[in-house]
Amino acid sequence: MTKDSLARIDESPNDAVTNPELLRDAIEGLSGAEKTLPPKWLYDRQGCDLFERITTLPEYYPTRTEAAILETHAAALGASIPPGGALVELGSGASVKTRTLLDAAPHLSAYVPVDIAAGFLEETAADLRRRYPRLDVVPVAADFTGPVPLSPRLRDVPKVGFFPGSTIGNLEPEIARDLLAGARAWPNVEGFILGVDLVKDTDELVAAYDDAQGVTAAFIGNLLTRLNRETGADFAHDAFAYEASWNAVATRIDMRLVSRRDQVVTLPGARIGFAAGEAIHVSAARKYTVENLGALARSAGWKLDRVLTDREDRFAVARLAP
Ligand SMILES: C[S@@+](CC[C@H](N)C(=O)[O-])C[C@H]1O[C@@H](n2cnc3c(N)ncnc32)[C@H](O)[C@@H]1O
């Protein structure tokens, strides 16, 4: 924590703090030389709903492109899932695209959606139980960057991982590698289906993360609302502007909230100073090539078995084998 950004430290308990973990992450992230907030906190109820709206935006090609690849190759992907197996999905969200795999693999015995948004996860699981009454739906509310606590009763069941949505692109490369290596160590894991967005035209990429209706801006800005509600922070919304830009060095889109003026924001235990134009880095969306996707898979102990793309090579669904 620097003296400039943290003028006051107060250790006294505060009733306004309903999410001490978020408060701790926020103070840590906002106290560094480059201010950051971890993207996993974007997904409160409102954030989950806003993300679902993003998936339907005209500019946001990844969801519909990945959905089309999954539909085109559903039979082959379904056949690659072992009979009686479990599909373990990381960052499952609304599990919409998942239904293509569930329909193509009626021989599955269990579906394990893993997501940090516990309430949304339970609602989605209830909906899937209604749609697939013979399937054992076993939701796990957890942070997928740590060990995924899989039910002991699924220990001997053959497993296939599923990580769509290019959510892997939100992770730093070493965290992405650790996540894939962690999945490689699941008992009886037989494969992994990974969706990644591919490097493409910069304007198209930036538009996908800065849509004309401002839904992505609302999604990122909602983190400030969440901080105010769950930690008692006093962020003023109109004091920050949303900005998405292409980072050619890291081959990723950076999503930031930029301070419109000199200001001080107070959180319980910290006062954070912002200069006009200073940014909080909230999220990144890394784009891959098939080559560096293969390198990532190999570094985590997987082999790139098949890479399925759309006709224009906008998005890839890769099947990894142990
Ligand atoms: C980009 S959305 C993708 C949702 C869905 N899989 C899709 O393809 O449309 C990311 C999802 O991952 C979840 N998520 C983000 N960070 C997470 C973390 N660290 N641990 C577990 N889930 C996380 C979010 O709650 C959200 O549902």
CATH (domain of 144): 3.40.50.150
Q: Which two tokens stand for residue 83?
A: 């009979």
Cα–Cα dist 116/141, whole Å:
5
Q: Which two tokens stand for residue 56?
A: 């339907």
For tokens 């901080």, name the residue: 227
Beta strands in 31-166 (DSSP E): 35-36, 86-90, 110-115, 136-137, 140-141, 159-163
At 16 the pLDDT is: 84
One-letter amino acid for residue 197 of the chain = D
DSSP structure string for 188-210: TEEEEEEEEEBP--HHHHHHHTS
Instruction: Output the average pLDDT for the chain.
Output: 95
**Same-domain pairing of 112 and 217:** no
Q: Whose CA is nearest to atom 7 of ligand 1?
A: 165
Q: What is the maximal distance between C-alpha atoms in the chain?
A: 60
**Same-domain pairing of 105 and 172:** yes
Q: Is residue 9 part of a domain?
A: no
**Would you say 217 and 12 are in contact if contact means Cβ atoms under 8 Å apart?**
no
**Same-domain pairing of 238 and 249:** yes
Cα–Cα dist 124/92, whole Å:
9
Task: Please list the rounded mean pLDDT of every run of 10 residues in the chain (322 residues).
Answer: 37 76 97 96 98 98 98 97 97 98 98 98 98 98 97 96 98 97 97 98 98 98 98 96 98 98 97 98 97 96 97 98 96
HSE-up of 94 (CA within 13 Å, CB side)?
Answer: 14
Q: Whose CA is nearest to atom 14 of ligand 1?
A: 91
**Same-domain pairing of 125 and 233:** no
Q: Whose CA is nearest to atom 6 of ligand 1?
A: 92
Choose one of 60, 115, 163, 253 to mutate for the ligand 1 pocket test, by most ligand atoms within 8 angstroms of C-beta: 115
**Same-domain pairing of 180 and 309:** yes
Q: How far is CA 26 from the centre of its chain?
A: 18
**Same-domain pairing of 211 and 89:** no
At 44 the pLDDT is: 97
Cα–Cα dist 88/231, whole Å:
32
Total domain count, the chain: 2
At 36 the pLDDT is: 98
- List, chain by chain if needed, residues with CB within 6 Å of any ligand 1 atom: 40, 43, 51, 55, 63, 91-93, 97, 115-117, 143-145, 164-165, 167
Q: Which two tokens stand for residue 26?
A: 């926020």
Cα–Cα dist 81/7, whole Å:
55
Contacts of 113 (CB under 8 A, 6+ apart): 89, 92, 95, 98, 121, 124, 125, 128, 137, 139, 140
39 Cα: distance to centroid of ligand 1 (angstroms):
10
**Same-domain pairing of 164 and 226:** no
One-letter amino acid for residue 16 of the chain = A
**Same-domain pairing of 77 and 181:** yes
**Same-domain pairing of 267 and 309:** no
For tokens 């935006």, name the residue: 57
Q: Is residue 82 part of a domain?
A: yes
40 Cα: distance to centroid of ligand 1 (angstroms):
8
115 Cα: distance to centroid of ligand 1 (angstroms):
6
Q: Is residue 272 part of a domain?
A: yes
Q: Is the dihedral of CA 250, 253, 255, 260 positive or negative?
A: positive
At 38 the pLDDT is: 96
CA Rg value for the chain: 20
Q: Is residue 16 part of a domain?
A: no
At 13 the pLDDT is: 54
At 303 the pLDDT is: 97
**Same-domain pairing of 154 and 226:** no
Domain extent at residue 158: 73-200+287-321
Q: Whose CA is nearest to atom 17 of ligand 1?
A: 40
